[in-house]
Structure 1
Amino acid sequence: MSDKSPVLLWLRRDLRLSDHPALTAAVESGRSVIPVFILDPQCETLGAAPKFRLGLGLEHFGKTLEQRGSRLILRRGDALTELRKLVDETGAGAVFWTRQYDPDAIKRDTATKEALREQGVEARSFGGHLMFEPWTVETKTGGYYKVYTPFWRAVKTRDVEAPLAAPSTMNPPQSWPASDALEDWRMAAAMRRGADVLRPYVQLGEEAAQNRLAVFLGEKVDKYNTTRDLPGVDGTSCLSENLALGEISPHQCWHAGQRALHEGKGDAEVFLKELVWREFAYHLMHHTPRILTENWREEWQAFDWNEDERRAEVKAWKQGRTGIPFVDAAMREMYVTGRMHNRGRMIVASYLTKHLLCHWRIGQKWFEDCLIDWDPAANAMGWQWSAGSGPDATPYFRVFNPVTQLDKFDKNRDYTGRWIAEGMQDPSDTALSYFDAIPQSWPMAADDLYPDPVVDVADGRKRALHAYENRGF
């Protein structure tokens, strides 16, 4: 095909212009660039909140491209089928994309690359979603890392590529192919009335992500090691939402964090470690994809988890009605904002898997449905870490006490007051908004009595330890 033939830029979780290797390569080829997003079967199965957030991200990025004289072409169906159609319609001679690392994406992308090349179309994948490709980080014996701290030591002094600038121009094709209308995809349908409640908490796009990073490193990072554990304090970067859809790159975050560290902001290293924790999750997903669906530690395969999601205590956990304020506040924060504070994530996960002895997959699936910052690798590793079944996991005998944890990290009850309305004389607007977001079928109201604990904290801990000891852990 002619060197003047267009390049299809197949977008996935990389909705940005700057530090976008695939986009940069397409532009530098001197050919016209046609940005494309395909709502394929993998996207169709996204949970309610991630799909809603993806729809918003696509709408925003489409407008960004239009401001640059470009467009975002939307297609729905099998990825290879739609790409082939676009090749035929546009005469494109190449398809470029950013790599993804979950097993289904690898299978899809490998087959797509082989099929396009057989057709005579140049097919190239690029990095950009991670700082370190998972296969490039090895132990001294040539294996993969199973513990975070050695992984951190192995990569902390590695060179990370400097972020690429956004292209100054993008050559449009002589004519644009047809595009689906985003509204026809109904990306918010599963959110129902919750979409309007959650929408104000979303910060869309590359500019918002860069602003978040700048504010965090300029105003918050000095006390990050302390404030990141305080759910009632605005002390975290909140960048997971934007990293999940590639509205900012980890390279950009890393270099900005390094600058802050060199400026004397010591807690910036804690932020850098969190970025590497994300890399570690992808490292494990690449080398042991079973982490997504099975107990990573084989000895946990025989553990008798409760797997019945219809159980009353599981429903209470999902609805934020366990009678444990820290757990309930965190679950309600997620339902209203699409995010949950990191300390809250640890508490609710420990409570479900240890106090209630429920399978971590129940929690993993609920988070898949409710988080706008959902990430397959981070979600799986986080749940298995909390349950004790994963790599570098919290010890099985460490059962977080959600009552003492609240006393330690939310002394003034700022967090629980923000998210729990029952029993409050003057409930906060955020607490009341939860009842506007939940399904009408949930029998809950702000003037209800706050429930008694579904499981006593001390009794739940004893039951968990007894179950673990009987399994020989």
Structure 2
Amino acid sequence: MQAAKDISPALLWLRRDLRLADNPALHAAIARGGPVIAVWILDPVAEATGAAHRWRMQGSLGSLAADLEAMGARLILRRGEALEVLRKLVAQTGAGAVLWNRLYDPEARARDEAVKAALKSDGIEAQSFNGALLHEPWTVETGQGGPYKVYTPYWRAVADRVVHQPIEAPSRWPSPESWPASDTLESWDMAADMRRGAAVLAERVAIGERAARQRLAEFLEEDLRAYPDERDRPDREATSGLSHHLATGEISPRQIWTAAQPHRQGAVAKPAQKFLQEVVWREFAYHLLHHAPQMSDRNWRPEWDAFPWRGDCADAEAWRRGRTGIEAVDAAMRELFVTGRMHNRFRMIAASYLTKHLLVHWKVGEAWFRDTLVDWDPASNALGWQWVAGSGPDATPYFRVFNPQTQAEKFDPDAAYRDRYIAEGRDAPHPDALAFFEAAPRAWGLSPKDPYPKAPIVGLKEGRQKALDAYQDWKTRRDAA
């Protein structure tokens, strides 16, 4: 049997999997028997993500680095093209293997495939693992052997499918005799583009693997029972709040799925089922993105290329700034700046108003969410926007136009959510409403003392009719072609 000191080190290439528990690539690296060197690379793919996501990743990297230091290990930070950085580290450390957990968005897939091929040609072991999904996208097929395009049949296919038990965090770290040099997080300044908004987010976002697991436990114990009835209420703390932890990989879907299993019986069986269906919606998004990578930047349904979307415009800018004159929409857009997240029901309301009442292309909204969400997820963001706009798979019909006013009356009946995020006209604005003006770019010139818009930029009845007219005209031209 080969002695551990004679086994070459392994490079553990971390990306959006910043945790020690249930990390298959980490488990495999340790199982080799030699030293393990964890590295995170700020490469063009990572740098191309939005400002809020980069800020969130910086916090997660700092948390993971502290956890590794507590084990006597280190997180090595390097900047540059991934393959070039990995080759340099192989040369510097004598590493014989590079291991990582797979990503599924087109840019990451292209990079990873090129890296794997190049490393193997160098004679280096290169392996990837599933650390991000319950089921790999290519392992779930319809009866005809193709991918699913509708959510409900997909859910039925995986609802009772075996999910492997999460892997425990390592109790020790096999360190090398010496560590390679590392950049510092401070030198990268990944939060620079957040400017003053970073301080606002820092007060409201719990970061790290420990925080993720604690929140999951709290949700299952305290909030799960009310989840089906209250998940659409933004004035209630009824959702899991795990999306940003999933986005950075501080927790895995297997950990969530496994922890929820005991609740699929008895009085909380239905709430647990509803919660797990939302976990699987994320899986469905990745299933679609894997089989149709164009979903991230093009209409899923090609016929929608001819729809008369408007491009970026003054109305879209008012939407971004939370100044549409529709309180339900504006509250949602301001929540985004204050917390880095947006309640799911009001995401749909805000997205519908942009794409239907304002007739602005969904790509304008998708790009804004990509830049401002701390829980940005490439698959869920693309699917969500195309679902609302009507251009995607299993989409809401275009003629279904959310009415922000009636939605607010139903899901925010006491206006608590709107009061929480809108300051103008309130005698004693909520601290979160005032925080929006601390986070918003100075260039916007906004003040809580400004009057709230007297009228919507596009009225609800007027906008709905314009949307329906545009849809009918497009459909008529399409059918006649």
**Band the TM-score falls in, shorter-chain normalisation:** over 0.9
Q: Could you tell me which of 229, 247, 250 is aligned with 2:250?
A: 247
Structure 1 residue 386, shift from structure 2 partner: 0.5
Q: Could you tell me which of 138, 141, 155 is aligned with 1:152?
A: 155
1:333 alignment partner in structure 2: 335
1:8 alignment partner in structure 2: 11
Deviations 1:65-89 (A, max 9, x none): 0001110000000000000000000
1:214 alignment partner in structure 2: 217
State the distance in 2 between where 1:470 and 1:443 align: 39
State the distance in 1 between where 2:93 and 2:130 align: 26
1:184 alignment partner in structure 2: 187
SS at match of 1:415: helix
TM-score, normalised relative to structure 2:
0.97
Q: Could you tell me which of 92, 96, 101 is aligned with 1:93?
A: 96
Q: Could you tell me which of 274, 288, 304 is aligned with 1:300?
A: 304
State the distance in 2 between where 1:263 and 1:83 align: 50
1:391 alignment partner in structure 2: 393
1:321 alignment partner in structure 2: 323
Query: In structure 2, what residue type is equivalent to 1:323?
Result: G
Structure 1 residue 59, shift from structure 2 partner: 0.8
* RMSD after superposition: 1.1
Structure 1 residue 97, shift from structure 2 partner: 0.2
1:59-70 pair list within 5 angstroms: 59-70=62-73
SS at match of 2:475: coil
> 2:205 matched to 1:205?
no
SS at match of 1:35: strand
Q: Could you tell me which of 77, 81, 88 is aligned with 1:78?
A: 81
State the distance in 2 between where 1:271 and 1:200 align: 27
1:353 alignment partner in structure 2: 355
Query: In structure 2, what residue type is equivalent to 1:324?
Result: I
Q: Could you tell me which of 232, 237, 250 is aligned with 2:235?
A: 232
SS at match of 2:30: helix
For structure 1, the residue ranges without an aligned partner over 5 or more in a row are none
State the distance in 1 between where 2:258 and 2:267 align: 15
State the distance in 2 between where 1:132 and 1:373 align: 21
Q: Could you tell me which of 277, 282, 287 is aligned with 1:273?
A: 277
Q: How many residues align?
A: 471
State the distance in 1 between where 2:292 and 2:87 align: 32
SS at match of 2:267: coil
2:140 alignment partner in structure 1: 137
SS at match of 1:201: coil
TM-score, normalised relative to structure 1:
0.98
Identity %: 58
Structure 1 residue 443, shift from structure 2 partner: 2.5
2:479 alignment partner in structure 1: none
Deviations 1:279-316 (A, max 9, x none): 00000000001110111012211101001x2x221111
Structure 1 residue 262, shift from structure 2 partner: 2.5
1:128 alignment partner in structure 2: 131
Query: In structure 1, what residue type is equivalent to 2:186?
Result: E
Query: In structure 1, what residue type is equivalent to 2:431?
Result: D
1:414 alignment partner in structure 2: 416
State the distance in 2 between where 1:20 and 1:370 align: 27
1:56 alignment partner in structure 2: 59
State the distance in 2 between where 1:443 and 1:15 align: 37
SS at match of 1:8: strand
Q: Could you tell me which of 110, 113, 119 is aligned with 1:107?
A: 110
Query: In structure 1, what residue type is equivalent to 2:387?
Result: W
Structure 1 residue 264, shift from structure 2 partner: 3.2
Structure 1 residue 263, shift from structure 2 partner: 4.8
State the distance in 1 between where 2:365 and 2:51 align: 15
State the distance in 1 between where 2:208 and 2:432 align: 24
State the distance in 2 between where 1:131 and 1:403 align: 38
Q: Could you tell me which of 230, 244, 257 is aligned with 2:260?
A: 257
SS at match of 1:74: strand
Q: Could you tell me which of 292, 295, 299 is aligned with 1:291?
A: 295
State the distance in 1 between where 2:445 and 2:93 align: 54
State the distance in 2 between where 1:331 and 1:422 align: 15
Q: Could you tell me which of 428, 431, 443 is aligned with 1:441?
A: 443
State the distance in 2 between where 1:250 and 1:3 align: 36
SS at match of 2:229: helix
Query: In structure 2, what residue type is equivalent to 1:207?
Result: R
State the distance in 1 between where 2:393 and 2:353 align: 19
Q: Could you tell me which of 172, 175, 195 is aligned with 2:175?
A: 172
4+ aligned runs moved over 2 Å, structure 1: none
